[in-house]
Structure 1
């Protein structure tokens, strides 16, 4: 009599375990959206309901790092069944009233020009130095203020990198640029603090390097500076029982090359690589390729991947469905769409139908 009971227990345990695994590995759907404090609660409720009805599970909300606005929005989203991530522009801090009082906090180009008053590409590129104690502590303080907000899933880092040393290929004509080599006006950070810290470790001045583009110590110094900020942010988020997530460039080797960002080496819970195929003049199957590359690079880590999909870069809803399926088939745990304003009723219908087909 004891043997059948044991078998029954083992079978029940197996079923429970499988169900638990199924529950924790459900493919999720998210959307990035930017908040406006002037918008009414009723309007937000309507927006969040639209997302939920369209198959969206989570919203990554940019409140321009305002914890008070975030506190207001979290219960509204939760009431509609949505999880909330606190989206923060990390090293790029356009219009940051505190940072603007400290010109020395800003990154400096190889030409010796500061992001404080000489901004690369666009006026909102106002990048803080990840090495200087005061500027990195300012960013980490902002992370902590968001992490303290009850009900959020994660602090979601964006612009956690250096300015683009290489732009995505489809954007070059917009700026009338050719970037076949690293150009000094887009190569950062050569501020006094970075140079001093690098010299202390490597006993040489990067400004005197024969060719900084192949100086691996100088490149790694900057990769490590960003990694150190992420790892500190991870500790802060987890101290407040929140996760740390980030929007990153398509896959680690590419992120390393384009923006000094090596996200497969970070302490982080989940990454949302922005696999915007149209930016790189790639076809839709590149969504699968880049997702797989990132998943492969994270093979021995717990970090999970949510594939970022750029809605304006899709030709139609057929491509939207294909992008979602390519992400899932290549190892992503979810997808996130940029951005909420770009999602049409037809898009949301496709998302909902595609989500249903995955069950």
Structure 2
């Protein structure tokens, strides 16, 4: 089992197999690649581009794919998958970054949600495709991932980020798991949450994705993101418990998200220092997680 970290600054942290820097988050701001890290790029989730080009935003009968649209649970603004200028921009960024770094993970490459996108671009492309509506949406997403994979050298990994809906992802987001598996080195499935008080929920999600996906599965757990109030977040206890519960599902890896290296290191230190918790978690079935903490202890000593 492999372990990764996912942070918003280009600073590696010792003790992980996979070091991922969020070069471009859904804010739309692009950072500077670190050659020693794998790079995450959020594709069509882009607040910056949506503000600059309102006509690029995905559209539905219930309004645009904007955070202000309360009929959907949109965490960022989402640009149309068939806006050629955006597609070209993203593919060029992926290619350029892949040349400079250890690999690529892509996220936010999906359709916003059910009912999207019904802009003139998509209506015209759908008409020309000869496919039914759901097939067209899924083919659009898959074609983009295929094109992105072609921009990444064959000797470098290409991770595809999903949304954590194992049942309705095709109808909601245009995600065809089997089709995407042809291009993915592995899938990253975010289980981001500010609380892990009910770890069975995340364990169940992990079991479902492990059963469905035809490539390695890396769920992600949330420590603290940019701008979060630490008093409103889970401490290391429930995160580590949930990590053990997820690990026993047979997933292939696990990724921890933090805003920066300091937060990640503080999490490592808290896990190492909590010897009682580590003893309590013996027998949970999450031995790889406890071995990871043992590794952190040897690094921190």
- TM-score, structure 1 as length reference: 0.62
Instruction: State the SS of the aligned residue for 2:207.
Output: helix
- Looking at secondary structure, tell me which structure has more helix per residue: 1
Q: Is the 8 A contact 2:58 2:112 kept in 1?
A: no
Alignment partner, residue 126 of structure 2? 198
Alpha carbons of 1:256 and 1:314: their partners in 2 closer, same or farther (altered >3 Å)?
farther
Instruction: State the SS of the aligned residue for 1:60.
Output: strand
Alignment partner, residue 246 of structure 1? 160
Q: Is the 8 A contact 2:129 2:136 kept in 1?
A: no
Alignment partner, residue 255 of structure 1? 169
Residue deviations 1:215-239, cap 9 Å, x none? xx32232122111111111121135
Alpha carbons of 1:314 and 1:290: their partners in 2 closer, same or farther (altered >3 Å)?
farther
Q: CA RMSD in A?
A: 3.4
Alignment partner, residue 207 of structure 1? none
219, 224, 237: which one pairs with 2:139?
A: 224
Residue deviations 1:131-154, cap 9 Å, x none? 2433322221121111111xx332
Q: Is the 8 A contact 2:271 2:293 kept in 1?
A: no
Mapping of residues 267-286 of structure 1, within 5 Å: 267-276=183-192, 283-286=198-201
Task: Note the residue ranges of structure 1 that are not aligned, 5 or more in a row.
Answer: 1-26, 37-43, 79-83, 166-186, 204-216
1:296 CA drift (Å): 1.1
Alignment partner, residue 94 of structure 1? 47
Alpha carbons of 1:264 and 1:350: their partners in 2 closer, same or farther (altered >3 Å)?
farther
Alpha carbons of 1:146 and 1:346: their partners in 2 closer, same or farther (altered >3 Å)?
closer
Alpha carbons of 1:68 and 1:337: their partners in 2 closer, same or farther (altered >3 Å)?
closer
2: CA distance between counterparts of 1:139 and 1:319? 37
2: CA distance between counterparts of 1:329 and 1:265? 27
1: CA distance between counterparts of 2:190 and 2:38? 16
Task: Note the residue ranges of structure 2 that are not aligned, 5 or more in a row.
Answer: 225-231, 273-288, 296-301
317, 325, 333: which one pairs with 2:252?
A: 333
Q: Is the 8 A contact 1:252 1:264 kept in 2?
A: no
Paired residues, number? 263
Alignment partner, residue 277 of structure 2? none
90, 102, 106: which one pairs with 1:153?
A: 102
2: CA distance between counterparts of 1:100 and 1:196? 24
Instruction: State the SS of the aligned residue for 2:44.
Output: coil
1:331 CA drift (Å): 2.0
